[in-house]
Copies of this chain bind each other. A is one copy, B any other.
Amino acid sequence: MSENRIYNFNAGPAALPLPVLEEIQSSFLNFQNSGMSVTEISHRSTYFDDVINDAVDRAKRLLKLDDRFRVLFIQGGASMQFAMIPMNFLANGKTADFVNTGTWSTKAINEARLLDKKINVVASSEDKDFSYIPKDITFSKDADFIHLTSNNTIKGTQWADFPDTNGVPIIADMSSDIFSRTLDMEKFGMIYAGAQKNLGPSGTCMVILRQDLLDKAEDALPTMLKYSTYADKNSMYNTPPCFGIYTIDLVLKWIEEEMGGLEKVEEFNIQKAAVLYDFIDSSSFYRTTAEKYSKSLMNVTFRLPTEELEQKFIAMATEKGFGGLKGHRSVGGCRASIYNAATKEGMKALVNFMDAFEGENK
């Protein structure tokens, strides 16, 4: 740990790669020799054009996107997307299938219903408290798209792979696992992600959208709620969230140049999660909460024998420099969020601490 930094297991906003933070810091008063902070440059300048174009290009290279895909930056978080998706893609008798795997899927479903759109919830894991990802789903024949949440930060579940939908495009909220693994983008019409877990600071949502969905989108909408507004102007119809896009660009650069691309990142994340899951599986003191085949590589949710011990564990962990281990307020328990920026060193330190805590409190 440098400069008294902690091991940060926050669910989001979350840890960012230290080299990215250091680069932001060192150039903060004078970006690219402009004599201005990155927060002070015009979004109409070549300085910023270079930033946003580099971020788009890196996203396309990392995910191997062909020219059918547009990379957009939109404000309002994934929550704004929950409204924009039905507004743009469910006009004129169109219909969509939704899979419900927890809080965020539920919010997306509720927002579509609030807008009085025709949707079907074709599968749900609510029967077992969202502890698993549904399998063998039968999708509707007339669905224009299928919406799902790729990773549930609260319950610690994740789609290990994505269903065969017979060509119907999947729209996926990937807020908590985008750029954490390779993707077969042939299955997706759109993926979107609030930046604050794997990509950058809060306040910027990355949207990757296929042109054929854009072409069929509803047009009679408020300007800022239409995807075409962003696609037509390279996300700069109005002033975009420049600092967020800049940080995302640096994170993507780090993934590409330091980590070696998404294949390497995926391997790294599997290894990191294994350190923690293997330890918990070998323990009779700690237990995970998600079904085995649905366990998330990003959010490891676990319990201790009692709530008292959980409180003691979190308090002592905080004292020892492990932050963010408290479970989501809606479910309790413990959670280690281990996005791309989490280090193996941090994982080992956490397991050592957990082992010692078990020894003292068993």
Contact = CB atoms under 8 A, between A and B. Distances in A.
A209 to B, nearest CB: 18
Given A79-B223, A114-B222, A242-B202, A22 B29 contact: yes
A202 to B, nearest CB: 4
Interface string A1-45: 111111010111111101001101100111001111101111110
Interface residues of A, number: 70
Contact of A16 (B13, B34, B40, B220): B40
A36 B222 CA distance: 38
Contacts of A241: 75, 201-203, 241, 244
Contacts of A134: none
A332 interface: no
A261 interface: no
A105 interface: no
A247 interface: yes
Contacts of A2: 29
B79 A238 contact: yes
A239 B202 contact: yes
The SS class assigned to the A binding surface is loop
Nearest to A114: B222
A122 interface: no
A324 interface: yes
A224 B76 CA distance: 8
Given A24-B28, A25-B29, A225-B83, A10 B243 contact: no
Contacts of A323: 34-36
B21 A8 contact: no
B224 A83 contact: yes
A269 interface: no
Contact of A201 (B11, B21, B243): B243
Contacts of A222: 83, 87, 111, 114-115
A344 to B, nearest CB: 19
A77 interface: yes
A237 interface: yes
Given A13-B239, A239-B13, A241-B202, A29 B5 contact: yes
A206 to B, nearest CB: 14
Contact of A247 (B36, B39, B115): B39
Contact of A76 (B25, B33, B76, B87): B76
Contact of A239 (B87, B194, B239, B324): B194
B30 A114 contact: no
A10 B321 CA distance: 42
B75 A203 contact: yes
Contact of A202 (B18, B200, B240): B240
Interface of A: 1-6, 8, 10-16, 18, 21-22, 24-25, 28-30, 33-37, 39-44, 75-80, 82-83, 87, 111, 114-115, 194, 196, 200-204, 220, 222-225, 237-244, 247, 321, 323-324, 329
5 A-B pairs closest in CB distance: A203-B241, A6-B35, A75-B75, A83-B222, A39-B201
Given A10-B41, A34-B323, 9 more contacts: A8-B36, A10-B40, A13-B40, A13-B42, A21-B29, A21-B37, A44-B329, A111-B222, A202-B242
23 contacts: A5-B29, A5-B36, A13-B40, A16-B37, A16-B39, A16-B40, A21-B28, A22-B29, A25-B25, A25-B28, A34-B323, A35-B323, A39-B200, A44-B329, A75-B75, A77-B238, A79-B238, A80-B224, A82-B223, A83-B223, A111-B223, A196-B242, A203-B242
